[in-house]
Amino acid sequence: MTTDIAILLYDGFDELDAIAPYEVFQNAAALGADFSVRLVTLDDRTQVTASHGLRVEPDGTLDFDDRPDVLVVPGGGWNSRSEAGAWAEAERGVVPDAVATLHDSGVTVASVCTGGMLLARAGLTDGRPAVTHASAVDDLRDSGADVVDARVVDDGDLLTAGGVTSGLDLALHLVDRLAGSAIADRVATEIEYERRFEVHEETK
């Protein structure tokens, strides 16, 4: 059965937060993982501008009727309180509401960097183990999350990762979890990345 993975883009997202996981998942698909990977937005648009100016053409909009199995939420612009980015989206409320709706419907939600603060604003990390970029950890703790010192935190239907490059580890961990360690290791070799295994997994 195909695992549908959607990476949610919004103006001001950090490029590496989204593109690094996208490349990992696409490499996994090329190596045999039954993945379908898309870059999506909440509104119908032809272009999204990332935090460093990269312009990206999304594959389409997030479909709430045909929901993905996994939703990845990048960060960017939280600490600078920029006019475009995670802080702006948290204040606007549309992304947190969408994330909460999808999670409530059974979608596994993952975040990279300060994308974790959008999950926090959605109420998903309340009382649950989570991590975000080091500079936003106090904000995450103040939101009610149980902050964990780890590269990636896997709490089943909720996964969070630390800053920026930890998106590689999050994605490789998800490949490992969904398609097996052999494919995850082959992807790491393909992209010449030495996997970091600082993953905190909750035991149920």
Which domain, by its residues, includes 88? 3-194
Does residue 91 carry a catalytic annotation? no
Residue 162 lies in a domain: yes
Cα distances (Å, whole numbers) of residue 187 to 16, 41, 70, 179, 181:
17, 26, 19, 11, 10
The structural domain count of the chain equals: 1
Residue 202 lies in a domain: no
Rounded Cα–Cα distance for residues 46 and 110 (Å): 24
Beta bridge partners of 36: 4
Residue 201 lies in a domain: no
Please answer whether residues 97 and 119 qualify as being in contact, where contact means their C-beta atoms are separated by less than 8 angstroms.
no
Residue 199 lies in a domain: no
34-75 tens-digit pLDDT: 999 999 999 999 999 999 999 999 999 999 999 999 999 999
Q: How confident is residue 203, by pLDDT bands cut at 50, 70 and 90?
A: low
Beta bridge partners of 40: 8, 60
Residue 203 lies in a domain: no
124-165 tens-digit pLDDT: 999 999 999 999 999 999 999 999 999 999 999 999 999 989
Q: Is the pLDDT of residue 26 over 80?
A: yes
Residue 204 lies in a domain: no
Other C-beta atoms closer than 10 Å to the C-beta of 28 total 28
CATH number at residue 12: 3.40.50.880
Residue 200 lies in a domain: no
91-113 tens-digit pLDDT: 999 999 999 999 999 999 999 99
Indicate which residue of 7, 33, 70, 113 is catalytic.
Answer: 113
